[in-house]
Amino acid sequence: MNASSTRIAGWSLFVSILALAVAAIQPGKEFYSKLTAASASISTPKSDEVLVGPDHKIGGRARDIPLGSDLWVVVRTTGIGDWYPSERVALPSPDGGDWSSEFSLGGPGKYQIFVYLADSQASGVLTEALNKMQQNGFTSGIVSLPAGVTVKATVTVTRSS
């Protein structure tokens, strides 16, 4: 073997090992199918409901939530402004089930309430954002949501006073 063919063989071996390593660490089809199969619904409040006051309960049903993922309630003034992670939803079992949580609204106006599925990294970012918001008295939220979140349910409500 000459030097050129030795180099080519070395690169071929390197590329083969790299391809095996990448295949070994990529999540399989089962992981991705669980992400798309995951579901959450909001049963209360109803869309277009008028709410009085700032503090409210939210509830619904979830199923097939992947291990290591979380559901988050996130509030936003309809179509504009910051995102306000409200709470990570406590599920009754790893498979899901009925859930309930709490959220707060700012002054009178229209709001969108979202339930997001967040992977572990996104959930960490939302937790950190919520902690900062609590420290600043909820005067500002976050400008954008982190990568790794998928909307699973939404309702639009109006706060009257």
Instruction: Decide: helix, strand or coil at residue 112.
Output: strand
How many percent of the chain have pLDDT more than 70?
78
**Max intra-chain CA distance, the chain:** 83
Write the pLDDT tens digit of every residue in 38-48. 999 999 999 99
pLDDT (0 to 100) of residue 31: 44
3-state secondary structure 42-109: EEECCCCCEECCCEEEEEEEEECCCCCCEEEEEEEECCCCCEEEEEECCCCCCCEEEEEEEEECCCCE
Distance CA 135, CA 132 (A): 5
Write the pLDDT tens digit of every residue in 118-146. 999 999 999 999 999 999 888 889 999 99
Query: Model pTM?
Result: 0.75
